[in-house]
Amino acid sequence: MKVLHVAAEIFPLVKTGGLADVVGALPQALIASGAQVRLLLPGLPAIVQGVKLQKVVCTIGAIFGAGQVTLRLGKMVDSGVEVYIVDAPYLYKRPGSPYQGLDGSEWSDNVQRFALLGWVAAHLAAGEFDTGWTPDVLHAHDWHAAMACAYVSCRPVTSAATIFTVHNLAYQGVFPVDDFHLLHLPSRLMVPGGLEYHGQFSFMKAGLKYAHRVTTVSPSYAREIATGEFGCGLDGVIRARGAHVSGILNGVDSTVWNPEADTLIAANYSANLLDGKARCKEALQIEMGLKVDPYAPVFAVVSRLTSQKGLDLLLSALPALMEDSRCADAQLVIQGTGELTLEAAFTAAAKLHPGRVSVRLGYDEPQAHRVIAGADAMLVPSRFEPCGLTQLYALRYGTVPVVRRVGGLADTVVDATPEALRNDTATGFMFGPATPTALGQVLVHTVQQYRNPAIWHHLMLRGMAQNFSWSAAAAQYLVLYEDAIRNRH
């Protein structure tokens, strides 16, 4: 089976979140399972520079506002996975993130930048740009690649089966109706039953409407987005797809996230020999300017600093936690970047609680490894969470997750209820309502359980024993691909 994955980012070249980790790992797992897999990525500077052995596949010419577009084929340096690059310097050769400039504002021509990505994907799926390799499946990831499904649907004869994966429904790629002509799509698609979305048009809706199958990155999130609470205005579209929407849980790349072999952490360790984790904790406390205390519970956050991640709840719960006599020595490490108000508030909290709260703004992959390895507990208090990878990494590193009971968090963490502790199935702690009170209560409860070394040790070991491998996810995707090929309706 030949599979073409289409996305805007990939680890380790371009990463703004978990999407990059998925695109970096899933193709390798599919290849290990016997599939032929190639990637299609936009020609962002880090991608153009980081892909080796590039050769020209074809010259496309001027389109979508770019004077020259060239399709190249190369290989990822570490994995050897083959990669098509849409080389369009006018659209992609610029500083900033894949989606925003250095000032944080969206690129004004994003509609063209990502329409081009989907358009090239559809033509590859039709066997037009590379006659030597035509995919059976086109797998588009998130709104940036979603328009590929609409372009494929416009062909009289369907090219490849299309799969669209929603990594985060909140980011939808919505643009003014006046820009619709830039897509080079028939006007019949600009209707409520097509791409039209409240007087605008939506890339995300293109994937939801026109893909043969829709997936999300966890089973619970697949159910949640069909509801008004989590559907972000698209729940009706999702419900209409019925059984064609499913969830496949993300995995963990064990070559990148493995405490036994991780070269980015202070000391290696395993479930059988945990001494190295204590050294990682001490190194983290020193690095972050926290009081060096092996008995102090260290909570950590490695995340985008947004309200979606529930970090405003943590800010509201933090004063009471710091003042609670039961948590007198508790410490907090924050690593991430995001909403300016949250960045400023956490920075202020660190100044107010020196030695107990430390903040590092920005995303630093090596530092993320050090934080996850050195912390005792990982906080993921999200209002909604499609899958969440941080809690999976934390489990693997013996860092006990404290999460909200939602989405992929509910699918991957077993709450330490009395029954789960008796049965030795617990791996972390959960709370329900998205309120500072509920979060504060679970944080205090976590500290109390931390004081019981036997319970905490069992939580660590049970978490480290969990198997969230990409091979299991790859097997489910292959079944889905086969079904989509057989039943393209």
pLDDT tens-digit map of 460-486: 999 999 999 999 999 999 999 999 999
**Cα–Cα distance between 79 and 232 in angstroms, integer?**
36
User: What is the pLDDT at residue 488?
Assistant: 78
Q: Are 225 and 238 in contact (CB under 8 A)?
A: yes
CB atoms within 10 A of CB 6: 33
User: What is the pLDDT at residue 212?
Assistant: 97
User: What is the pLDDT at residue 135?
Assistant: 97
Q: Which residue has the tokens 């617990």?
A: 426
User: Residues spanned by CATH 3.40.50.2000 within the chain?
Assistant: 2-251+470-486, 275-464
**Cα–Cα distance between 352 and 442 in angstroms, integer?**
23
Give the architecture-level CATH label for domain 2-251+470-486. 3-Layer(aba) Sandwich (3.40)
Positions in the chain whose pLDDT score sits under 50: none
User: What is the pLDDT at residue 340?
Assistant: 93
Q: Return mean pLDDT, the chain.
A: 96
Helix (H) or strand (E) holding 41: strand 36-42
Residue 278, both tokens = 């204590």
Q: Which residue has the tokens 């109390």?
A: 448
**Cα–Cα distance between 478 and 461 in angstroms, integer?**
32
User: What is the pLDDT at residue 426?
Assistant: 98
User: What is the pLDDT at residue 156?
Assistant: 83
| Coil, helix or strand at residue 131 | coil
pTM for the full model?
Answer: 0.92
Residue 191, both tokens = 């209707």
User: What is the pLDDT at residue 489?
Assistant: 63
User: Could you report the per-residue pLDDT of 103-129, keeping only the tens digit for each?
Assistant: 889 999 999 999 999 999 999 999 999
Among candidates 60, 59, 55, 45, which has minimal Cα distance to 75? 55
User: What is the pLDDT at residue 158?
Assistant: 75
Name the strands in the sheet holding 200-202, side by side, starting at the edge strand that comes first in the sequence.
174-176, 200-202, 196-197
Q: Are 121 and 4 in contact (CB under 8 A)?
A: yes
What superfamily would CATH give domain 275-464?
Glycogen Phosphorylase B; (3.40.50.2000)
